[in-house]
Amino acid sequence: MKRAFAVLFIILAVVTHGSAQSYLKTDIGIKTSIEDTDYEIQFFSPSIVRVLKSPEKSCFTKESLSVIKRPQKTDIDVRLDGKDLILESDELLVTLNMNNGTVSFETSTGKPLLSEKESSAEFTKFIDAGNETYSVSQSFELEKDEAIYGLGILQNGKMVQRDIEVHMVQNNTQDFVPFFQSNKGYGLFWDNYSPTTFSDNKEQTSFSSEVGDGIDYYFMYGKNADGVVAQMRELTGQVPMFPLWTYGYWQSRERYKSQDELVGVVHKYRELGVPLDGIILDWRYWGNNYLWNAMEFLNEEFYNPQKMINDVHNMNAHMIISIWNSFGPHTKPYRELDSINALFDFKTWPESGSFKWPPNPDYPSGVRVYDAYNPAARDIYWKYLNKGIFSLGMDGWWIDSSEPDHFDPKPSDFDNQTYLGSFRKVRNAYPLMTVGGVYKHQREVTSDKRVFILTRSVFAGQQRYGANTWSGDVVASWDALRKQISNGLNLSLCGVPYYNSDIGGFFLWDYQNPLQNADYRELYARWIQFGAFCPMMRSHGTDAPREIYQFGKKGEPIYDAIEKYINLRYSLLPYIYSTSWDVSKNQSTMMRALVMDFPNDKKALNIDDQYLFGKSILVCPVTERMYNENGQADFSTVKERELYLPAGTRWIDFWTGEMLEGGQIITRETPLDIMPLYVKAGSIIPIGPDVQYAEEKPWDNLEIRIYEGADGEFTLYEDENDNYNYEKGMYSTIKFSWEDENKTLTISDRNGSFPGMLAERKFNILIVKPGKMNKMDAEKYDKTIIYKGKRVSVKL
């Protein structure tokens, strides 16, 4: 005993260095106490640091729901310099003021990054559903002109998230991720799942959460936006590949009322020759509201669900189906979940057992949300989903109301007990848990079909579960269209790369007879142009159907504009699928805010209506009406849109081949069928064949477009399109490199292989120039190469 005491004394003597304050060095950082607060600083890597604070002797520990990375032993130097305890890795200097407990972060060269506001950690005693805990808050000091991004989907139309206050409780159209990143190259993740307020003003930037046994946040230094995204994914999970077919065009509506109607829509698209890869079945296929989400086809209009799915598949299309996180009282899942006390008691959708609107409170539906935090409840959920739907060959899931819906919330609602404590304590992580449950269970059943989940809500880490988040039931307007752009960009900057919105807006409350309304028809055409350059291109909504033939016929302006962008989407599939591999393999991002590629261009940092799709295509959606005059469509005059070409490169007009210098504001003509698109000089873009669905034709005769003006490269990725063999290395890549000065294209040796891989193919090389910028205008290609997997270099 005396010897152990002597060793402890020596340790403390070493770490105090004569200071009145002491600390303990651990394998991953330090522990100490200052006044009445315990501190722990943990290095997860040389550039990722976790900061923990809690009331003294409270023994705060937490298993994160979002963070799956474990701290790794990192070489750090720990030293006291006066009042400052300094922890230094190869990438970061973390300083803890031993007098007041303030933590600050600098680069290894001493460049300031972020500092806590002095004495700003707050612990306020709080009784949470009968348990003594705390409300917690931490404030930081940002530079005056610093730009920050992230926080999820806010529907506020802002790119830079400064000078705002947001109360974060997941809801239909707002998805909250308590994370932001700075144009200074760092990110901060506030790891708390309770209702949280984010506030930024002239005095401070803070997170304040209703429930927390301690303060828990992660600081990461990625040097740039891509680096921060990569570190957030390193912390919370990497992104699996989606099947190729998910990148085609998707048709949906609220709702197809019979299997004949749904199959008929697919048939109509095939008859018209308009490409389509997916059809979505919305709610009520289970019957009445007391059978809500029964995970069975109990509606007599869906008389043979196996035939319905087979009919869709026989037309070379795919199908996903609406599932919810709640169950009606007459369903089998409800009864089994209730038997293990895994149903919550609060007001959710639908409110009434009757279909009539408004809901009749005399006939409550009795629908209850299930406890997705409970692993046994997730098992039950999947058991019925697998037996009733997945076993029929369903291709994917539309998890609606994954927040979940919680109407007129009362404080007592949050006292509902989950498997992990009160609902209040874990409320915002609900979508992560329910989406994760479906993903994990399907992966256990089969590796032959990739998981694809379309879902309405998101939390940090959800990117690891094969999910694409849509922005909720937005009300259609030009303003709403514009807001969907910054929504997707800020979510992507949180490390969650897959996003889409209801093309055309969900509700059409502001439009009478929308399909005959010139303003709405123009809005829909512009929204579908934007949708063609999102990770998922999906038309959906209520109040009016959205199929292409609802907007006229071939030869009419709206129809032709819609068809043009669906076809354009399919021609870009080799580019899109290769970009998706870059997202999974290299932690890249598909919808790229301009800060990602032009961090030094101050004019680009706060642009909320332009972005890069992949690393080559600048997308400039039209978000104002141009051709609706007094309720009539007037296409006689060509209108214009003002846009900014970021500095540091030249840009080639996708439609004309004209080259322009970056760093300038220009105006671009925007007839109804033109959304301004510019390609970065030095880009190489593969163009796929004309198809009716994604896998109709092999990529054995690709057009390879070269955009001159700079050196560049592109890696073409291919695999079996829909299984997890790529995780075993069964895929191939072909790297294209362009040397601009000597006009030389080099196609490298193919790396890798997979079953069904093309042994030989044509690459039709086209140098884009005015009057010769695509396969429709080119009289001939600059070069056609027969490629057999070996290096080819050609001077053009």
Least Cα distance to 64 among 77, 52, 75 occurs for 52
pLDDT higher for 666 or 633?
A: 666
Q: Please report which residue ranges of 40-98 form alpha helices under DSSP H.
A: none
pLDDT of residue 10: 36
Q: Given 40, 210, 234, 403, which residue is catalytic?
A: 403
Say yes or no to pLDDT of 24 above 50.
Answer: yes
Enumerate residues 6+ apart whose C-beta is below 8 A from 1: none
pLDDT of residue 636: 86
703-706, Cβ contacts within 8 angstroms, sequence gap of 24 or more: 703/764, 703/766, 703/774, 703/775, 703/781, 704/736, 704/745, 704/763, 704/764, 704/765, 704/766, 705/766, 705/768, 705/773, 705/774, 706/738, 706/745, 706/765, 706/766, 706/767, 706/768, 706/796
What is the pLDDT confidence band of residue 13, given thresholds at 50, 70 and 90?
A: very low
The answer to whether residues 241 and 580 touch, using CB atoms and an 8 Å cutoff, is: yes
Distances (CA, A) of 193 to 11, 235, 428, 617, 639: 37, 16, 5, 36, 47
Return the ∠ at Cα 247 (arms to 244 and 253), rounded to 5°. 130
The answer to whether residues 309 and 285 touch, using CB atoms and an 8 Å cutoff, is: no
At residue 620, what is the residue type? C
Q: Is the dihedral of CA 384, 386, 387, 388 positive or negative?
A: positive
- DSSP labels, 620-642: ----S--SEETTEE--SS--EEE
Say yes or no to pLDDT of 6 above 90.
Answer: no
Q: How far is the C-alpha of 326 from the C-alpha of 307, rounded, in Å?
A: 27
pLDDT of residue 780: 81
Is 473 among the catalytic positions?
yes
Q: In a 3-state reduction of DSSP, which class is residue 500?
A: strand
Q: How far is the C-alpha of 470 from the C-alpha of 454, rounded, in Å?
A: 7
Q: What is the biggest distance separating any 2 CA atoms in the chain, rounded to whole angstroms?
A: 95
Q: Which domains does the chain have, with CATH numbers?
A: 19-236 (2.60.40.1760), 580-796 (2.60.40.1180)
Over range 355-367, report the average pLDDT: 93
Q: In a 3-state reduction of DSSP, which class is residue 153?
A: strand
Q: Given 473, 624, 673, 720, which residue is catalytic?
A: 473
Q: Is the dihedral of CA 572, 270, 558, 507 positive or negative?
A: negative
Lowest mean pLDDT among 128-142, 223-237, 365-379, 624-638: 624-638
Token reading at 391 = 């076993």
* Interval 594-639: pLDDT, tens: 999 999 999 999 999 999 999 999 999 999 999 987 778 888 899 9
* Interval 156-193: pLDDT, tens: 999 999 999 999 999 999 999 999 999 999 999 999 99
pLDDT of residue 778: 54
Q: How far is the C-alpha of 45 from the C-alpha of 70, rounded, in Å?
A: 9
- The mean predicted confidence, pLDDT, of the chain is 95
pLDDT of residue 229: 98
pLDDT of residue 8: 37
The answer to whether residues 633 and 518 touch, using CB atoms and an 8 Å cutoff, is: yes
Over range 6-34, report the average pLDDT: 66
Over range 18-32, report the average pLDDT: 84
* Interval 522-545: pLDDT, tens: 999 999 999 999 999 999 999 999
In 495-561, DSSP assigns E strands to: 499-500, 537-539
Q: Please report which residue ranges of 114-251 form alpha helices under DSSP H.
A: 225-236
Say yes or no to pLDDT of 516 above 60.
Answer: yes
Query: 510: burial class by Cβ within 10 Å (0-12, 13-18, 19+)?
Result: middle
Q: How far is the C-alpha of 688 from the C-alpha of 690, rounded, in Å?
A: 7
At residue 570, what is the residue type? Y
pLDDT of residue 630: 74
Q: Given 400, 543, 608, 782, which residue is catalytic?
A: 400
Q: How far is the C-alpha of 398 from the C-alpha of 382, rounded, in Å?
A: 14
Distances (CA, A) of 467 to 62, 454, 593, 725: 26, 6, 20, 19
Q: How far is the C-alpha of 615 from the C-alpha of 612, rounded, in Å?
A: 6
Token reading at 332 = 């089998």
Beta bridge partners of 507: 475
Q: 């009434």: which residue's tokens?
A: 352
Q: Is the dihedral of CA 665, 666, 670, 673 positive or negative?
A: negative
Least Cα distance to 580 among 461, 726, 447 occurs for 726
Distances (CA, A) of 516 to 363, 522, 608: 37, 11, 30
Is 118 among the catalytic positions?
no
Helix axes 375-388, 332-339, angle to 10 degrees: 160
% residues pLDDT > 90 (the chain): 94
